[in-house]
Every structure is written in structure tokens, then in C-alpha cells.
Chains A and B, each alone.
Chain A
Amino acid sequence: MTHRNPNNIFIQGAISPSQIGKDIAAHQGKTRIGGHSIFLGQVRADEMQGQTVRAIEYTAYEAMALDKMHQIREAIFSKYSLVCLHVYHSLGIVASGEICLFVFSSSVHRKDAIMATEEIVNNIKSSLPIWGKEIFTNDEYQWKK
């Protein structure tokens, strides 16, 4: 996640737990923060018709998604008192059990961070042009609904 465009939320493949740990550590110097709220989306090994999901392959209309994410971000900052906000979403293959979405809100008092995280996750799911293809253990697939 170094040398990234700060407006880019996309990460190729899974989001690693060690990177999440480093991101938390990177906030220790921001001592105005009194609470962080973190949401981690994990790929679930759903079972359907005798088949198990082994991975989800994510694709996106990246330019439109980043533009929309910028609007979501502006709206959230005007509604809640946040110190900072970081969002990462996977593209490409993410195996079941791995992390595909990381939303990290920080505020002076906890409620702003908690409410902002909930609202951002809802907005990401409803309005970002991202698609998931569920790949089964036998390599057949279906598009995630």
C-alpha cells in the first residue's frame, strides 16, 4: 500500500492482516484520535447445490468507482466528525477466508467512527460499480448477487 495514489482504494488480491496491523500502528502518532472503527469483509465459503465457493474474483469500473468513492468520502466527512478515513477494496482473486474489504474510520469520540464505518460499508455495497464472481471448487462460477 506504499506509493499508492491516496484516492485509489483498489488492492490487487487479498488485503493482508499484516498490512492491516501496520495501518493501525501508523495511527499511534495521531494522538487526537480516541477511537477507531474497523470493518473487515471476508470471503465466505458459501455452499450452493453441493458446491463450495473457493474464491471471489472482483472486477470494477475503476474510474467511476474512485469518483463515486470520493463523493461518498466528502459526504461522510461533512456528516461525521472524523480525524481520518481509509478504505481498501480487493480486485482480482480473493480466496475464501481472506479479507476483501477494509474500512478504517478514526474520530475523537467513538460514535462518529462507528456510525461512519457502518454508513460507508453500506454505501460501498450499494453504489460502487464493483462485481464479484463466485468461483466454486470445481471451477464453475456464478456472479455474486
Chain B
Amino acid sequence: MSVLEVLVFGQLTDSIGKDRIHFSYVQDTELFRKALNESFPGLRDKTFLLAVNQELVLKKKILKPGDTLALLPPFSGG
């Protein structure tokens, strides 16, 4: 089965309850965000960026099966 690996960081680990999940493959990042919000309604009011294979994605991006996505809430290092 085609899946996407999803890494979860910061406060979003509280919303999702895990730091890593597997998600059924969807074709692009917009469909992914939509499906993610349906699975985890607690994410709807959260602000976060997406990275695909460690690259920040600011516009819609086509996904491939096996891609690693990351949910990145605002950074607070230092």
C-alpha cells in the first residue's frame, strides 16, 4: 500500500498524540492538508508549515508514494 510518512514536531505532537504517523497516499500537499484536518480536527486552528523530504513547501507540491512529510509549527530554538 502506498503511504506517506509524516513526522510531527513541537506542540503538534500534543494535538496528534504521536511524533510519527503513516498516512494513506494522496497526490499533493493540498489534499494532504485536507485529509490531515479530517483525521485530526484539533489541527484546524494550528499554524504550521509543511516540509517534504526536508524541504519547506510553501506552494502546492505533487507528492510521491514514500515521501516523508513533516509538520512544522513556528520555530522556537535558541
Contacts and interface: CB of A to CB of B under 8 A. Distances in A.
Interface of A: 41, 58-61, 63-64, 67, 89, 100-101, 121, 124-132, 143-145
B31 interface: no
Given A59-B10, A129-B9, A143-B11, A64 B54 contact: yes
Contacts of A121: 78
B76 A101 contact: no
B74 interface: yes
Contacts, number: 58
Secondary structure type dominating chain A contacts: mixed
Given A61-B7, A67-B54, A41 B78 contact: yes
Contact of A130 (B11, B14, B51, B77): B77
B72 interface: yes
Size range of the chain B interface in the assembly: 10 to 19
Contact of B76 (A61, A127, A144): A144
A125 B75 contact: yes
B54 to A, nearest CB: 4
A130 B77 CA distance: 5
Contact of A129 (B11, B14, B75, B78): B75
Nearest to B7: A61
Given A127-B75, A131-B73, 17 more contacts: A58-B77, A59-B9, A61-B7, A61-B9, A61-B51, A64-B51, A64-B70, A100-B78, A125-B78, A128-B75, A131-B9, A131-B11, A131-B75, A143-B10, A143-B73, A143-B76, A145-B74
